[in-house]
Amino acid sequence: MTLQDTPTTDGAVGAVVVLAAGQGTRMRSRMPKVLHPIGGRSLLGHVLAAAAPLLAAQTVVVVGSGREAVAEHLSAVAPEALPVVQEEQLGSGHAAAVALDALTEVAGAVLILNGDAPLLREETLTALVRAHQQAGDVLTVLTAEVADPTGLGRIVRDAGGAVRAIVEERDADDAQRAIREVNAGVYIGDAAAVREALTRVGAANDQGEQYLTDVLGLLVADGAPVGGHRAADPDDTLGCNDQRELAARRRTMNDRVLDDLMRAGVVVVDPQTTWVDVTVEVAAEVVLHPGTQLLGATTVGAGAVVGPDSTLVDTEVGEGASVVRSHVQLAEIGPAATVGPFSYLRPGTRLGRAAKVGAYVETKNVQLGEGSKVPHLSYVGDATIGDHSNIGAATVFVNYDGVDKHRTTVGDHVRIGSDTMLVAPVTVGDGAYTAAGSVITTDVPPGAMGVARARQRNVAGWVARRRPGTPGAEAAAAADDAAAAAATDTRTTESADRPPAATDDDQQGRS
């Protein structure tokens, strides 16, 4: 088949229905099941992302348990989606009927999805839509071939391969239980036909619920053409019913992400300990060391090195930059800049090209200019630091007065001495210095040396008087004795080396 012959899905799907009203009691969580996070999105968010490229004119999400939280989440991630409330959870068939009642006239087919299938991909849905178009069926169900079908509805086909029924395991005979093709819970069909069939779905079953699977049986009985499309990867169809399954889906999703990255030229040293959200962008030739987590909207430029043991959240890393054993959130790390080890970059931190934030440094709402350095053991908050400046060890930008935050400005080519306190608001001008141990409370002009410390005063004998009998007093006494002995030895030596005094006769002879 040529590209010209490949059917397009444009306009093929008129509406998308996502069933997300279940309580998810097996999750043992107060959070609605479909809002559990995995790989940078919620379960529901992944399903909506997979369906979005189909460009359906209408998207309806059926909500029930935790409806307020789900509706709020929808407004953030898919504001075009319409939440529809299923007041009573009477089964998947009832939920689908509620959704279809909320739709306006559907031009094209309706696609029905479960909201707890995060591994579902755009490619799988596109292939399902195309198979449905080509076959001209009234309804097509997505299926999967699995190694262990226990607990899943079996797809029963006739001798010609046509789908005839979906049989739940509790209703299956031995031959049907041996079938490994299962129902994935994804359907595409004619909206009017599905809507009409739903009006005939009963609740005569153990759960007393209306099952969406019954729609297929009713259409088959009507003689309508019904088909099944098998997913290329059965993992796409897996749902999440408890925390163990959620963890398994998370691992599968992460493996997929890392596989794609490695194929694109990213070096992942240890895939087992490296986690990357689906929302992250990583360029070729990036090196990810063990224990790295890239989360949210993080982007990493070509040739950068991250890790080991580093977490980046919603952070931009420039080309050739390095982040080692650090936690970074909502920050920008410029090209060739270095961070860590053991640093904490908080929101609003922006590092210029070749800037450095070294060991045990915390920053917040800071702009660090090109080539500037905060090498170690410092806190920098609410500050603008120019280019090629150096912040000495143990410097603190004192930005909070107990009520408001204030900003410090440090110019270009500035040298801040170790153990300096910069009490904001304050400015240190270009080329200025501060003396080590200073508390700077007023502006330092360009080129000046800011000195703000008391003159040192030594109180002799304080330890002997105030801490008698302590190891310190004993050490001080021993040091004094040693010093006195050394002084005596020096005087003795000098006396021995001095020439004898001249006699009167000697003096008279010289005279």
For residue 37, what are the contacts with CB-CB under 8 A and spacing of at least 6? none
**CA-based nearest residue to 228, from 162, 272, 175, 290:** 162
Structure tokens at 446: 């360009």
- Are the C-beta atoms of 242 and 27 separated by less than 8 Å? yes
Tokens 């063990």 map to which residue? Answer: 290
Catalytic residue among 36, 94, 376, 406: 376
Q: CA-to-CA distance for 229 and 163, rounded, in angstroms? A: 10
Structure tokens at 452: 């703000």
Structure tokens at 186: 């994804």
Structure tokens at 64: 């029930």
Q: CA-to-CA distance for 151 and 156, rounded, in angstroms? A: 15
Tokens 């440094």 map to which residue? Answer: 361
Q: CA-to-CA distance for 498 and 330, rounded, in angstroms? A: 76
Long-range contacts at 274-277 (CB < 8 A, ≥ 24 apart):
274/307, 277/39, 277/40, 277/41
Q: CA-to-CA distance for 198 and 215, rounded, in angstroms? A: 6
* DSSP secondary structure, 394-442, as one string: T-EEE-B-SS-B--EEE-TT-EEPTT-EEESSEEE-TT-EE-TT-EE-S
Tokens 């009203």 map to which residue? Answer: 21
For this structure, is 376 an active site residue?
yes
Q: Which helix (H) or strand (E) holds 466?
A: helix 462-466
Q: Do β-strands 154-157 and 163-167 pair in parallel, antiparallel, or remain unpaired?
A: antiparallel
Distances (CA, A) of 380 to 6, 12, 273, 386: 58, 56, 31, 13
SS in 3 state form for 429-447?
Answer: CCCCEECCCCEECCCECCC
Structure tokens at 130: 């195309």
Structure tokens at 192: 């009017």
Q: CA-to-CA distance for 438 and 201, rounded, in angstroms? A: 81
Q: Is 377 exposed, middle or buried (0-12, 13-18, 19+ CB in 10 A)?
A: middle
- Residue positions annotated with a catalytic role: 376
